[in-house]
Structure 1
Amino acid sequence: MNSPAQRILAWCVHAFTLSGFLFAALAVLALIQGEIAMMWLWLGVAMAVDAVDGTLARRADVKRHVPWFDGGTVDIVVDYLTWTFIPALFMYLHLPWGGGPLPMILLVVVLVSSMFCYANEEWKSADYYFVGFPAAWNIVAVALWVMQTGAVVNIAVTLVLAVLTLVPTHYTHPFRVRRFMALNILAVCAWTISAGWLVAIHPVRPTWLFMVFWATGAWFLLTCVWRTVAGALRGAKATDPVDEGPAA
């Protein structure tokens, strides 16, 4: 059954996803005006929308009730703007990224390498981990800015993560991966709050707050490394030759 009420609900979910364009525009305006904290605020709001719109879309069964409008495409465009494009511009404008043409080269590296995430048909594992670095440059940019890292670190991190976009490493989706889900959600909430606080008072870094930021970030890195290593070991075991014993 496809009732008017169900179609209206589906369109409400699409409108919620489309609101990401508003927050992206507000973030760009804040970046242009040099209001860095406001830029991160709007990107944070966009990230919150992105965290729940998929769940809402599945519950409202939008594909069934509005089959001709692809909310997934909208989500990808919003994600590219808010997770990749705007943070990459911020990195170009406000992070030490070397001299000469290097910042422009790194900007292009970030923007192009990210497409190997967004255009990847195998971006998600069966247990809902991201496969390959998921172009989360907003997380990278805010972390480097809060930690006030130098050009060498920033360049190295950028190049390594761009390469990892193409490598079958695994990264935790806190709201989809079932293993450690409660801890993952708690960690992402604590990390987001601590990061937002550090952005608001930048460049001040209270030790206790910085430790919360580090500890919760380290937890996510640990879960990613664990899943990547465990997956590699399972794959190696599955491809081991079977010992059939001596020939008769």
Structure 2
Amino acid sequence: MKPSHFLVRLNSADCITLFGLLFSAIAMVCALNQQLLLSVSWLFLAMLADALDGIWARRNKLVRAFGRYLDGFMDQLIYLISPAVVLYLSGFDGYWSLFLLLMIACGSIRLSVFNEVGNIEGSSGLSYLGMPVFWSLFILSAYLLLRFVLPPLSGYLLLSVTLLLFSIAMLWRRPFYKFKHLSVIIGITLSGAFTFFWLHFRGFCVV
């Protein structure tokens, strides 16, 4: 095969992975325009792309080291940087943002370990070693929904404790459940995307 002029040839799984970059970029633009609920809906779509790329790669024998590294970079953007930006812009700033830095640091370490060891065998089949970073999106979603009923200070305190425990759990040496059924993954991600799209277009906002 003739050598490529470029560093790498992207396959179809890599292209699905890069949809996560596109959706995350749209989410960041929405967040910077204070459309926080709409931003979360785009992150759920990025989560869907992140889930589908691995499934597609395994089914079509496209698994390779480059894909794992690319996926790890996208995970960092989708589940660590983007949620941190949304939370910061929601008012979780100042000293509170130290918990965001902790989440990003622990999540980055966990993703680096995952690139080395991958999934592990648990009691229910393939599992994650350490709590997976994608739970940050569920934490972000729950926090924004609770902000409709909680005063800001109560929300900040609850989020601080949650992020602290989440950061510790990401580095905890124990198996964590891995979603395995495609129908469940699609159902969760599309339900999340639809819910936050609906809240945004119904005029709800986080104050």
TM-score (norm 1): 0.63
Whose relative contact order is higher, 1 or 2, with alpha carbons under 8 Å and at least 6 apart? 2
Q: Secondary structure at the match of 1:139?
A: helix
Equivalent position of 1:109 in the other structure: 102
Per-residue deviation at 1:160? 1.0
Change (3 A) 1:84 1:194: same
CA contact (8 A) 2:24 2:46 kept: yes
Per-residue deviation at 1:60? 2.1
Change (3 A) 1:157 1:189: same
Instruction: Give distance in 2, aligned partners of 1:196 and 1:11.
Output: 27
Instruction: Give distance in 1, aligned partners of 2:193 and 2:53.
Output: 22
Instruction: Give distance in 2, aligned partners of 1:173 and 1:108.
Output: 25
Per-residue deviation at 1:147? 2.4
Further displaced range: 33-42 or 81-90: 33-42
What are the within-5 Å matches in structure 2 for residues 25-36 of structure 1? 25-36=25-36
Instruction: Give distance in 2, aligned partners of 1:13 and 1:193.
Output: 20
Change (3 A) 1:146 1:189: farther
Q: Secondary structure at the match of 1:128?
A: strand
Alignment gaps of 5+ in structure 2: 1-9, 203-207
Q: Secondary structure at the match of 1:130?
A: strand
Number of corresponding residues: 180
TM-score (norm 2): 0.75
Change (3 A) 1:201 1:54: same
Per-residue deviation at 1:12? 2.3
Change (3 A) 1:60 1:198: closer
Per-residue deviation at 1:115? 1.3
Change (3 A) 1:23 1:198: closer
Of all paired residues, the percent bearing the same amino acid is: 21
Equivalent position of 2:119 in the other structure: 124
Higher gyration radius (CA):
1
Instruction: Give distance in 1, aligned partners of 2:146 and 2:71.
Output: 30
Residues 27-62 of structure 1 show CA distances to partners (whole Å, capped at 9, x for unaligned) of 111111112232122211111111111111122222
What letter corresponds to residue 85 of structure 2 in structure 1?
A: L
Residues 137-195 of structure 1 show CA distances to partners (whole Å, capped at 9, x for unaligned) of 112111111122512211110111111112123322112xxxxx59xx54x55554554
CA contact (8 A) 1:16 1:49 kept: yes
Change (3 A) 1:123 1:168: farther
CA contact (8 A) 2:96 2:156 kept: no
Alignment gaps of 5+ in structure 1: 1-9, 176-180, 205-248
User: Is structure 2 residue 133 aligned with structure 1 residue 139?
Assistant: no
Instruction: Give distance in 1, aligned partners of 2:195 and 2:67.
Output: 34
Residues 193-241 of structure 1 show CA distances to partners (whole Å, capped at 9, x for unaligned) of 5544543327x9xxxxxxxxxxxxxxxxxxxxxxxxxxxxxxxxxxxxx
Equivalent position of 1:70 in the other structure: 66
CA contact (8 A) 1:27 1:40 kept: yes
Instruction: Give distance in 2, aligned partners of 1:153 and 1:104.
Output: 14
Equivalent position of 2:83 in the other structure: 87
